[in-house]
């Protein structure tokens, strides 16, 4: 990963944390939430907002939810930083 990619991943991480902080989540809640999302997504595959949120509920994470924006940020981070193959699908 080059310096530009590192900066972009850093910006994505900051944006993700700020989005949830503005919704009133504590730092501990945010990092637990992100960690659980990473576990869900890191195996790769195709995910929807609904499927990720359902899996979070199954893991007793009920306060925070992924949105289209935050799921895209997480997927970008996983792809760039950890070289995972992940995609999302929009269900209208």
Residues of the chain short of pLDDT 70, as ranges, are 1-6, 82-92
CA 14 – CA 42 distance, rounded (Å): 20
What is the structure's pLDDT at 15? 92
What is the structure's pLDDT at 77? 84
Q: Please state, in angstroms and as integers, the Cα–Cα distance from residue 31 to each residue in 20, 35, 37, following that order.
A: 10, 6, 10
Q: Which tens digits make up the pLDDT trace of 30-43?
A: 999 999 998 998 87
Let me know the angle formed at the C-alpha of 11 by 10 and 15, rounded to the nearest 5 degrees. Answer: 120
Locate the domains of the chain by residue range.
3-82
What is the structure's pLDDT at 57? 96
């Amino acid at each position: 990963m080059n310096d530009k990619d590192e900066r972009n991943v850093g910006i994505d991480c900051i944006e993700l944390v700020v989005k949830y902080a503005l919704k009133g989540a504590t730092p501990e809640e945010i990092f637990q939430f992100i960690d659980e999302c990473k576990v869900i997504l890191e195996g790769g595959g195709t995910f929807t907002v609904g499927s990720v949120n359902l899996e979070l509920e199954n893991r007793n994470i009920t306060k925070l939810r992924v949105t289209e924006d935050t799921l895209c940020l997480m997927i970008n981070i996983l792809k760039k930083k950890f070289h995972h193959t992940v995609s999302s699908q929009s269900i209208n």
